[in-house]
Amino acid sequence: MPTALITGATSGLGAAFARRLAADAFSLVLVSRDALRLAQTADQLKLRYGVDVEVLPADLTTDEGLARVESRLHDGVDLLVNNAGFGHPGSFPDVPVEQELRMLKLHCEAVLRLTLAALPGMRERDRGAVVNVASVAAFFAHNTYSASKAWVVNFSEAAAAKVGNPRIKVMALCPGFVRTEFHQRASMDSSGIPGFLWLKADNVVRAAMRDLALGKPVSVPDLRYKAIVAVGRLVPRGLQSRVSATIGR
């Protein structure tokens, strides 16, 4: 039975990945800061899908938390989903530097370290995959959030090319607006986002798993967002920045 480790596994895309992979008969290792919610999520998945679920409470913005998850990855997993992340209600340069550094620790350092921890075991078994959750924001210059997600995309593309084994895949997942707790937790007002731009978490995960199977290094779920990214790449960087500053995330 294959094993998947998912960070940020108790809500949003992380929870959707957990449901999908449990339905596909993966054993799960769930990582989150909230130990109580983690235990509740594990119990629900065990009851519904009958799979083994291991819980690993850890704060990935700390060296101690990262070391705990790295240690578990050294034991081997078949799929790593680097999903944990957060946003700020404010924008650069008004966000306190401590919060900006915490974001970079989680979005960049954690993705780097956990991917590096997972790859040796995958190479030894000659199979495996890593999904690094980024965002459509990665393709638009706006603030530290978009910059950190741009790093995730660039890193994932480079890692996919450098691994040099078609049986080991690394992919950046770049969804647009997804109906999760993300904006609420970040105290962001999402009321102005048009309804047609919202995606369902389960649909995003379904598209991600399809693109992973196809070996794509970057997955942009939904035709609407594929079009937005394509247009964004054609717009001059200066104009793109001004538009991003106007409409926000």
Question: Which residues carry out catalysis?
Answer: 145
Q: Which amino acid type is present at position 41?
A: T
Q: Closest by alpha carbon to 114, among 138, 80, 85, 148?
A: 80
How far apart are alpha carbons 104 and 101 in whole angstroms? 5
Alpha-carbon dihedral angle through residues 237, 238, 239, 243, given to the nearest 10 degrees = 90
Q: How far apart are the first and last CA of the chain?
A: 39
Largest CA distance in the chain: 52
Q: Using the CB atoms, write b or e for 81-90: b if 16+ within 10 Å.
A: bbbbbebbee
